[in-house]
Structure 1
Amino acid sequence: MKNFAIITDSCSDLDKAHREAYDVDYAPMGINYEDKEGNIVDLPADLDWKDLSVKEFYDLMRNGTRIRTSQVRHDTFKEKFEEYLKKDYDIIYLSCSGALSASIKASQVVREELLKDYPDAKIYCIDSLSSCAGLGLLCMNASALRKEGKTIEEVAAFLEENKLKMNQFATVEDMTYLKRAGRISAMKAAFGGLLGVKPVIISDALGQNTATEKPKGRKNSIRRLAQLMAETYVKMGIDKLFVLHADNPEDGQMLVDEVKALIPDADVDFGYIGPIIGATTGPGTLAVYGWGKEVTYAAHE
């Protein structure tokens, strides 16, 4: 059976240890911001925080710097895909939700170009409809199936059939960052701040990050994230949950504790929200990800 690579992007938030353990590669997206001298700094959205540490990244945002993100570039995709095609590998690229990034569309353009030079290759470009560790967990499950000897067709079919069973429940500490990123109006951000609203944000059936509840207060929102995960939680595939934080480990640990209190046998991995989603949601964001009931809610459907 022909070998195949599993490739994702910077939105997956898979650190080096997870990428190596599951043999998952990634094509970097980009970030840019204006420094104190007014120069534009362009950097790859690195999942190992080589150019900016977690604290440096989120401190920039705390100090008022707007960090912008960009999709995976055409030449980046081409170079990454050809790296494996030249070794006679087939490819599954599992992307950040197409509702959040145009990377999936860019990958499809590159796929069509490369198939002219590699007509016998199989290249699957799959919209995960997820982000962060939800996307990462899908990659890990794809890797586990590959290790079991499943074909690329079988793994691609599993991902398409089950991707909406990957659940996300997140909350932000300060709605100002969503306003800066153009996700909500200034009025909503100010009103939410005055009321102490800490919205619960899910990844819906269309892959959009959308607020579904508006608990008041940090502790209530953390507790609600754990409750929602426990209510939907289903054991399947790699039976693991992820709790991620945006440079707020104490609150992150509180969420881990709440999750374990409701799902005592949960295997919870703990890590950072990476630069792509973090640039939109800001420091203080918390999220839990895992398999659950199929997501059916779609905002603005």
Structure 2
Amino acid sequence: MLEYVLTCCSTADLPNKYFEKINVPFVCFHYNIDGQEYPDDLGKTMSFEEFYSKISTGAMPTTSQVNVGQYISFFEPFLKDGKDILHISFSSGLSGSYNSACIAKNELLLKYPDRKILLVDSLGASSGYGLLIDSAAYMRDNGSTIEDIYTWAEENKLNIHHWFFSTDLTHYKRGGRISSTSAIIGNLLNICPLMNMSYDGKLIPRMKFRGKKHVIAEIVKMMEEHAKDGVDYSGKCFISNSACYEDARKVADLIENKFKHLNGPVMINSVGTVIGSHTGPGTVALFFFGDKRVD
């Protein structure tokens, strides 16, 4: 029987069934749309199709992070059951949720001094964060201790690359990630920015391209340049998309054609409702292990 549990946040954007398969419980962020609050429960309460349809017709959702009380309610049953906890959190560069987890940890350890709660700030998001969770679960299932996985995650989390592009800049403007002028001009001229996650877990615009064809070619090129062992990369590759599966499939097809040694087919997931509240529809994100993110 395992003496510890591996947990994460819903913003890792893996399917519910996949979390069940790898035995990783998650704590839900929340979002508010059309005046009603919902858990970010990976499409169970509201399907991704309905969520993105609402945005496309004008809804502007807002989000709320996991607070201290919610973390305590999530963690405590595991501690009561005599288990230690390794929680890998959503990026502190995008949310205060990691800080809330730290406060909850300190409060709970006063009540359960014989237990361990180890926290990792993933500095990642969406299925890139999910790729870190997936790897940690594989280590757990192959006998690694809680300390081994914690050390590995801290040493390797910046080796997970996150590359994003979007064909609709409206919600990036709303979130302050690009200026209003850039968004207006970009939408008019069909400009698709290529963004990635920085070393401190923030989403940074890197390059701009005219049209999807060019940005799709460039995102695959970024994997060629940065993936471990280049085109001989033998790890897993995840993609997430916000209501633009065909674009995600085009990227996946190019990758599967170019990278012949992948550990399984490219997994295409949905951008969840919390991250999707900030990206809106039209975003494709690519995730893989590579060289360390340094800027």
How high is the TM-score relative to the length of structure 1? Answer: 0.93
Counterparts of 1:225 and 1:76 in 2: how far apart (Å)? 37
- Distance apart, 1:180 and its partner CA: 2.3
- Distance apart, 1:103 and its partner CA: 0.5
Q: Corresponding residue for 2:11? A: 11
| Aligned partners of 1:141 and 1:237 also within 8 Å | no
Counterparts of 1:182 and 1:294 in 2: how far apart (Å)? 26
Of 36, 39, 49, 1:41 maps to 36
**Residue 253 of structure 2 is aligned to residue 274 of structure 1:** no
When the two structures are aligned, how many residues end up with a matched partner?
291
Of 146, 160, 174, 2:154 maps to 160
Q: Corresponding residue for 1:58? A: 52
| Aligned partners of 1:234 and 1:291 also within 8 Å | yes
1:10-62 Cα offsets, whole Å, 9 max, x none, are: 210021222122111100001002x2xxxx21111111x12211111111111
Counterparts of 1:140 and 1:238 in 2: how far apart (Å)? 15
Counterparts of 2:176 and 2:66 in 1: how far apart (Å)? 21
> Secondary structure of 1:198's match?
strand
> Secondary structure of 2:119's match?
strand
- 5+ residue gaps, structure 2, are none
Of 256, 281, 291, 1:260 maps to 256
Of 242, 261, 266, 1:246 maps to 242
| Aligned partners of 1:93 and 1:126 also within 8 Å | yes
| Aligned partners of 2:14 and 2:269 also within 8 Å | no
Q: Corresponding residue for 2:290? A: 292
Counterparts of 1:231 and 1:115 in 2: how far apart (Å)? 44
| Aligned partners of 2:167 and 2:190 also within 8 Å | no
Of 184, 187, 198, 1:190 maps to 184
1:252 partner amino acid: A
| Aligned partners of 1:230 and 1:259 also within 8 Å | no
**Residue 202 of structure 2 is aligned to residue 208 of structure 1:** yes
| Aligned partners of 2:167 and 2:283 also within 8 Å | yes
Counterparts of 1:52 and 1:70 in 2: how far apart (Å)? 17
Counterparts of 1:31 and 1:238 in 2: how far apart (Å)? 36
| Aligned partners of 1:4 and 1:92 also within 8 Å | yes
| Aligned partners of 2:163 and 2:195 also within 8 Å | yes
Counterparts of 1:148 and 1:44 in 2: how far apart (Å)? 32
Counterparts of 1:217 and 1:167 in 2: how far apart (Å)? 23
* Identity across matched positions, percent: 32
1:168-193 Cα offsets, whole Å, 9 max, x none, are: 11101111111123332211111222
**RMSD, aligned CA:** 1.7
Q: Corresponding residue for 2:120? A: 126
1:291 partner amino acid: F
Q: Corresponding residue for 1:179? A: 173
Counterparts of 2:4 and 2:202 in 1: how far apart (Å)? 29
> Secondary structure of 1:215's match?
strand
- Distance apart, 1:238 and its partner CA: 8.6
Q: Corresponding residue for 1:104? A: 98
Counterparts of 1:181 and 1:294 in 2: how far apart (Å)? 27
